[in-house]
Structure 1
Amino acid sequence: MKYQKILLAAVVGMSAMLGATGAAQADSTEKTIRFGVDPTFPPFEWRDTQGQLQGFDIEVGNAICAHLKVECDWQIINFDGAIPALNSNKIDGILSGFTITEQRAKQVNFSHPIYSSSSRIMTLKDKDFATNAEALKGKRIGIVQGTSQAAYANKHWRGKGIELISYQNDDLAKQDLAMGRIDGTLQNSASGAIFFETPEGANFHMTGEAISDREVFGVGTGIGLRKTDNALLERINGALEAMVASGQYDDILQRYSKYGITAPVTE
């Protein structure tokens, strides 16, 4: 139950930043919630060999829907198109490794924080270098469009002799890394940890130190909702609070903690 205190502290700390803008438009009697997801980021979301969605975000989303007695309608999106899909009413929420930041909070409302995870550079096992601008000078580093990792690289590394190669999804970045077209990919550490367990990931490792920037990475990851959908926001937050109180949240977290997924960082 320790996450309950963390969640409540996060809510208080983020309330001024996120606000409650607009009148509630979501119908509280809706029987389906359409969650947008990019299934190229295990352990958060991926497709198994039968094509079924799996992952931490998927389990959390399905638990929320079960608590609210609605159906989860998982809509496949590219991550960089998540906010446009939300605001054009193609989906009702973004549940796909969506970090809570001030910049994004200008465009969407966020649920309570769900989890935190660090970011590092992944490269071939025979390579090793520090994760700072000086050490990366002359290297080609892959970033996925629209991610917090891309935002960090653009803020701290662009224009400093580092070639940033942009990809539409994580799978494409990993393919180019395997073929030697880039020197590394900046990505979520948990995503790397589960990749290393696969035959395809056996020749890779994380290098350098974990990066940090509160402005870029915020206080954790949450569900992004339209500014006008305050009723849906309240329902989802209520479901998350109930999951924490019952221990269901901790049960889900424990299944993924070996990858470095933790309760949200609020300090």
Structure 2
Amino acid sequence: MKTKLVTAIAAFGLTLAAHAASAETVRVGVAAEPYPPFTEPDAAGNWTGWEIEFMNAVCAEAKLDCVVTPVAWDGIIPALTSNKIDAIVGSMSITEERMKTIDFSDKYYNTPAVVAMAKGGGITPDAEGLKGKILGVQVSTIHQKYAIEHFGDVAAEIKEYQTQDEANQDLAAGRVDAVMADSLALDAFVKSDTCCEIAGAVEDDSAILGAGVGVGLRKGDDELREKFNTAIAAIRENGTYAEFSKKYFDFDIYGK
């Protein structure tokens, strides 16, 4: 009897060990710079926000052990390609240019790019409205590329910042005339600071702005990509996506 008991305990222990070993650890890169309402550290240093909840839901669905790994935004793709992280969940738009270097999951949200200005600034989100103006953008973003392509010849300056928060603070201080970024990021800013307002959405340019935001993955990591795709579809279908999203937005962030 004792031998059978020992054998059973040993077998149970091996089963647990095998289960633990089967849990795939995925280092998920997020931008080290705060990007509310998507990602930002709280007072205790824990990462919070809509994308953190999205990541947790997707990883739970896919049975992945995901670890948040902050990386400076302008180095996040090199961190992925050099195996320092395994995935990017950082409001990264799916663009043809980026797809030359990395792969993406299916999209998990899609919102327009907009221009914000000081209240009553009279700026329109086009070349005519930004003529002679100083426009702030975050480096290494689709918004920087769009601004250079569409407004570089008419703006007085395309001023680049390491973080969107720095650009927003310069707008509030009057050091730039306008900033360009994702509509939700700037909506959160104008709601928190009475200085500024949204001027409007820029004209779509899918070649630069992309076809929505996806999880960034290394080229050839097809198995992990399929796990993310399956999990994204599942949380959309079972209502989890809508449940955590309604805490942040009063519309469907998934978009068209």
Q: Could you say whether these structures have the same fold, taking a TM-score greater than 0.5 normalized by the shorter chain as the test?
A: yes
Query: How far 1:223 moved relative to its partner?
Result: 0.3
Report Cα offsets for 1:124-175 as digits up to 9, x if no partner.
2131211111221111100101111111111111123431001111111122
Asked whether 1:207 is paired with 2:199, we answer yes
**Shift in alpha-carbon separation, 1:218–1:171, aligned structure 2, 3 A:** same
For 2:174, which of 171, 176, 180 is the aligned residue? 180
After TM superposition, list the pairs within 5 Å mapping 1:115-264 onto structure 2.
Answer: 115-198=109-192, 201-258=193-250, 262-264=253-255
The one-letter amino acid paired with 1:175 is Q
**Shift in alpha-carbon separation, 1:256–1:87, aligned structure 2, 3 A:** same
Report Cα offsets for 1:220-241 as digits up to 9, x if no partner.
1110100021111111112112
Gaps of 5+ in 1: 1-27
Aligned residues: 235
Report Cα offsets for 1:1-34 as digits up to 9, x if no partner.
xxxxxxxxxxxxxxxxxxxxxxxxxxx9453211
Q: Could you say which residue in structure 2 is the equivalent of 1:32?
A: 25
In structure 2, distance between residues paired with 1:167 and 1:140: 13
Asked whether 1:104 is paired with 2:98, we answer yes
Percentage of pairs with the same residue: 35
Where 1:172 maps in the other structure, the secondary structure is helix
* Contact 1:118–1:211 under 8 Å retained in 2: no
Where 1:98 maps in the other structure, the secondary structure is coil
Where 1:64 maps in the other structure, the secondary structure is helix
Higher RCO by CA contacts (8 Å cutoff, separation 6 or greater): 1
Q: Could you say which residue in structure 2 is the equivalent of 1:16?
A: none
The one-letter amino acid paired with 1:185 is V
Greater displacement, 235-244 / 86-95 = 235-244
Query: How far 1:245 moved relative to its partner?
Result: 2.3
Q: Could you say which residue in structure 2 is the equivalent of 1:66?
A: 60
The one-letter amino acid paired with 1:227 is K
Where 1:131 maps in the other structure, the secondary structure is coil
The one-letter amino acid paired with 1:215 is A
In structure 1, distance between residues paired with 2:65 and 2:100: 29
**Shift in alpha-carbon separation, 1:194–1:168, aligned structure 2, 3 A:** same
The one-letter amino acid paired with 1:72 is C
* Contact 2:135–2:180 under 8 Å retained in 1: yes
In structure 1, distance between residues paired with 2:252 and 2:70: 23
Query: How far 1:70 moved relative to its partner?
Result: 3.0
Asked whether 1:79 is paired with 2:73, we answer yes
The one-letter amino acid paired with 1:263 is Y
Q: TM-score, normalised by structure 2?
A: 0.85
In structure 2, distance between residues paired with 1:251 and 1:37: 22
Q: Could you say which residue in structure 1 is the equivalent of 2:14?
A: none
Where 2:175 maps in the other structure, the secondary structure is coil
In structure 2, distance between residues paired with 1:218 and 1:151: 12
In structure 2, distance between residues paired with 1:140 and 1:161: 6
RMSD: 1.9
Where 1:41 maps in the other structure, the secondary structure is coil
In structure 2, distance between residues paired with 1:245 and 1:216: 30
